Amino acid sequence: MTGLDFFVDLAVTGTVLGLDDTSDVTTVRDVFGCGYEPGDELEAYSYGLVEFGWYCHRGSCEVTYFGAQPHRLPWLTRDREVEPELVERYGEFPGRLDVDELRAAVARRGFPLVEVPYHDDDYVDYWSPVSRMGVLAERSGRSVVKLLGRTCHGPWLSFPGGHRTFQDHVRHLLRLGAAEREAWFDRHEPPADREDRADWWRCLRMCAGPVAGTEAGAARERRRLALALVRAAAAREALPADEAAASEVTVLVAAARDDDPLAPLDGPVRRWLAAVPVPRAEATRQDIAVARLLRDRIHEVGRALPHLTDPAVAAEVRSWREVGPLLLAGPARGPGVSGTLRP
């Protein structure tokens, strides 16, 4: 193992020593032996090369981003200040990380790094479709500056430059009643045989939720639209059943946390449990692509636990949550995708 392997593992699996944006503060602190104490707002905590961003609200903290800052390598390696937990696992680290070397090493594992648009011509941005980690590098020197995530470029790759169009769609849909929306979907939804049909619904959904600073009434209407979009996509079988159910859970949990409950959560959680294409007993034997997405879905659905009323449903979710941290924690299996999980 070498320091390069650390960055490859991060790009491929979206984990740092088994940690990611599904990990809690206590687990992160236990792995690195010291560090972040929860605050009351958006904060970042750096362990040196590794960095986690947190958002804490009402006593609950969640990771907003995480990853590595390779631009710090020159002085971290010079002063031997790379985290000892990383050195123990991977050995010595290079004084810089070359993006072409990283891309070649990731490709040897069977995974791509896709170039995506970036607002500054001095840099080039790459994205890992499986782990959803971003890689930002200098265009001239080719040194990697940041390897942070996780972001969701995937659906937008089907509609480059389409953010404004989908935002316009959302503004129009907010003015329509339920029947008018269904008619609009009939006119605008891509045909069932189009490969970008699911991504069309995903882009529409991502533009629908409340944005920072939205007034309470407008936020409520946006959440209701987001819920309507998820349910419409599910009814039209435009999204895999497990994805649609998990997306509905996400919308309803966000509403409940803001004291704006829209609907009970037991129903969509039951639908997710019924639709998971991987038996729980076999979850840890899946390849990286399935394990990565399953770990994300478990985290999404696990947020519903405080709002569940059926003890049997809650117990099943807790059992899945015990599996989540075990995914991607062992030897990396190849890139082949099994099951029907999709990003």
- Give residue 212's pLDDT band: very low, low, confident or very high (50, 70, 90): low
Confidence of residue 36 (pLDDT cuts 50, 70, 90): low
**DSSP assignment letter at 244:** H
Which tokens sit at 57? 């609200």
For 123-140, what is each residue's pLDDT tens digit?
999 999 999 999 999 999
- What's the whole-number mean pLDDT along residues 160-165? 89
Choose the weakest-confidence range: 223-232, 282-291, 333-342. 333-342
pLDDT at 53: 86
pLDDT value at 45 more than 80: no
Local structure of residue 127 (DSSP, 8 states):
E
Looking at residues 146-160, what average pLDDT do you find? Answer: 89
The better pLDDT of the pair 184, 340 is held by 184
Between residues 254 and 316, the one the model is more confident about: 316
pLDDT (0 to 100) of residue 211: 67
CB 28 within 8 A of CB 19: yes
| DSSP string computed for 99-118 | HHHHHHHHHHTT---EEE--
**pLDDT score at 132:** 94
Mean pLDDT of 143-169: 91
Confidence band, pLDDT 50/70/90 cuts, at residue 331: very low
The mean predicted confidence, pLDDT, of the chain is 89
Whether the per-residue pLDDT at 40 is higher than 80: the answer is: no
The rounded distance, in Å, linking the Cα atoms of 287 and 332 is 7
Q: Examine the pLDDT at 340 and tell me if it is beyond 60.
A: no
Q: What is the pLDDT of residue 136?
A: 97
Whether the pLDDT of residue 302 is over 90: the answer is: yes
pLDDT surpassing 80 at residue 34: no
Q: Model's pTM, two decimal places?
A: 0.90
Distance CA 129, CA 7 (A): 16
* Res 334 pLDDT > 70: no
Q: Rounded to 10 degrees, what is the CA torsion of 307, 23, 26, 28?
A: -170
What is the Cα–Cα distance from 20 to 35, expressed in whole angstroms? 16
Q: How far is the C-alpha of 316 from the C-alpha of 336, rounded, in Å?
A: 28
Q: Say yes or no to pLDDT of 335 above 90.
A: no
Query: What single string gives the DSSP state of each residue in 54-120?
Result: EEEETTEEEEEEEEE-GGGHHHHHHTT-S-HHHHHHH-PPPSS-BHHHHHHHHHHTT---EEE--S-
Q: Which residues pair with 238 in a beta bridge?
A: none
